[in-house]
Chains A and B, each alone.
Chain A
Amino acid sequence: MSIIQMLIIVFALFAVTRTVLQFKKGAVSRHWLLFWILFWVGAGTVAALPQTADTLAHIVGVGRGADVVIYLSLIVIFYLIFRLYVKIEQVEGEITKLVRKLAIDELDKKN
């Protein structure tokens, strides 16, 4: 087994334990816990058994296992960025609600 494979497996185990800890603390929802566990188990599996990537590549019609890993990773990253963007917009809306309430309360106080 190569060094990169070992590094990825170790990191995947570390990431899973960290995610479970965050879930216990309530910082991560059940839905995201499942997502991240599946994600890191997937990453660890592909690292330990690179043939899985090659098989998947063959099934979907891509040349190399490494290529399909990169394609999938990019899709996941774009999706996550979109989710983050939506979340930020929500937070902006909440901040505005707060600022609005302060403005209204200040006006009521004046009158």
Chain B
Amino acid sequence: MKMFALIPAYNEETTIADVLTRTRPYVDGVIVVDDGSSDRTAEIAGVHGATVMSHVINRGLGAAIGTGFAAAQSLGADVVVTLDADGQHDPTEIKKFVEGIEKGADVVIGSRMLTGFVGMPVHRRVAQVVGNLVTFFLFGAWVTDSQSGFRAFTKHALSKIQIKTNRMEVSSELIAEAKRNGLILVEVPIQAIYTEYSLSKGQSFFVGIKTLLKLVVRRLTR
């Protein structure tokens, strides 16, 4: 089973090397999608052995994942595991995702709610639940951590999922696409690792509203 890690990154030069080093042992290869970074993210990722795809301008998480999926498919991946470039995810938990896939899942979502949202600030927990509700009411798919960046997809899932969104709304869209294509989706518990650095990166309320609007448009124009 050929497994690739897919790490979308935007200006993560301070953490990308560490994430790559800790992830590499658990996968056959790492794809880093540099989403128009102005720092040395791409260069550092290349030095640490990742296959680097570079967007000339910043397009957003959704676009980066779409590009990563295309790269993974052309590299012959059987499984793709997405994780964050800022150190929020623990690569040792990748084996939980592998277990899920081996038990027959097409899509595995790592859920921080299943570990009780430990370490997550209150306003983030609220945002999480809102995200879950939005994903459910717009697309009929219920998961306990819709905005989680720690996910795994099989080759089959990749061939079926069509990503049309560009930015943070992709998290909900991926789940919606899994539901639409009748893919088998399971959740596994994961840790939420919050450092001062990763806490500073996150969506503001205003961005959340824009994300919601884009999801509504995506739902209406399907």
Contacts and interface: CB of A to CB of B under 8 A. Distances in A.
A107 B214 CA distance: 30
Interface string B211-222: 001100110010
Interface in B62-96: 63, 66-67, 70-71, 74
A71 interface: no
Contact of A104 (B52, B53, B218): B53
**Chain A: interface residue count, which band?**
10 to 19
A85 B63 CA distance: 19
A99 interface: yes
A104 B59 contact: no
**Chain B: interface residue count, which band?**
20 to 34
Interface of B is mostly: mixed
B217 A100 contact: no
Contacts of B213: 85
Contacts of B67: 99-100, 103-104
Interface in B178-222: 213-214, 217-218, 221
B92 to A, nearest CB: 29
A94 to B, nearest CB: 11
B214 A96 contact: no
B56 A99 contact: yes
Interface in A53-96: 85-86, 89, 92-93, 95-96
B59 A96 contact: yes
B59 A89 contact: no
B54 A104 contact: no
A81 B97 CA distance: 43
Contact of A96 (B63, B71, B74): B63
Contacts of A104: 53, 67, 70-71, 74
27 contacts: A86-B221, A89-B218, A92-B166, A95-B57, A95-B59, A96-B63, A96-B166, A99-B55, A99-B56, A99-B57, A99-B59, A100-B63, A102-B55, A103-B33, A103-B54, A103-B55, A103-B56, A103-B67, A104-B53, A104-B67, A104-B70, A104-B71, A106-B53, A106-B54, A107-B51, A107-B53, A107-B71
- Top 3 A-B pairs, shortest CB-CB distance: A96-B63, A103-B53, A100-B67
